Amino acid sequence: MNSGMRLYNFAAPSRFYALAAKITPWMWALTALFGVAGLYVGFIIAPVDATQGNAYRIIFLHVPAAWMSMLLYMVMAFWAAIGWAFRARMASILARAIAPTGALFTFLALWSGALWGRPSWGAWWVWDARLTSELILLFLYLGYIALVEAIDDPRRADQAGALLAVVGAINVPVIYFSVRWWNTLHQGATISMTAAPKMASTMLTAMLLMTLACWAYAFAVVFIRARAIILERERHTTWVSELALAAKGA
User: How far out from the chain centre does Cα 236 lie?
Assistant: 31
Neighbours of 244 (CB within 10 A): 12
**Does the pLDDT value for residue 3 go beyond 70?**
no
Q: Could you tell me the residue ranges of all domains in the chain?
A: 37-42+57-189+196-241
**φ/ψ of residue 49, rounded to 5:** -70, 140
pLDDT (0 to 100) of residue 1: 45
**Does the pLDDT value for residue 113 go beyond 50?**
yes
What is the pTM (predicted TM-score) of this model?
A: 0.90
Say how many CA atoms lie within 13 Å of 53 toward its Cβ: 4
Q: At what angle do helices 171-181 and 59-86 cross, to 10 degrees?
A: 140
**Does the pLDDT value for residue 195 go beyond 60?**
no
pLDDT (0 to 100) of residue 219: 98
pLDDT (0 to 100) of residue 184: 63
**Does the pLDDT value for residue 243 go beyond 50?**
yes
Weakest-pLDDT range from 23-27, 29-33, 115-119, 137-141: 115-119
Kindly give, in sequence order, each residue whose CB lies less than 8 Å from that of residue 240, ignoring residues fewer than 6 positions away: 231, 234
**Does the pLDDT value for residue 212 go beyond 50?**
yes
pLDDT tens digits for range 30-65: 999 999 999 999 999 998 877 777 878 899 999 999
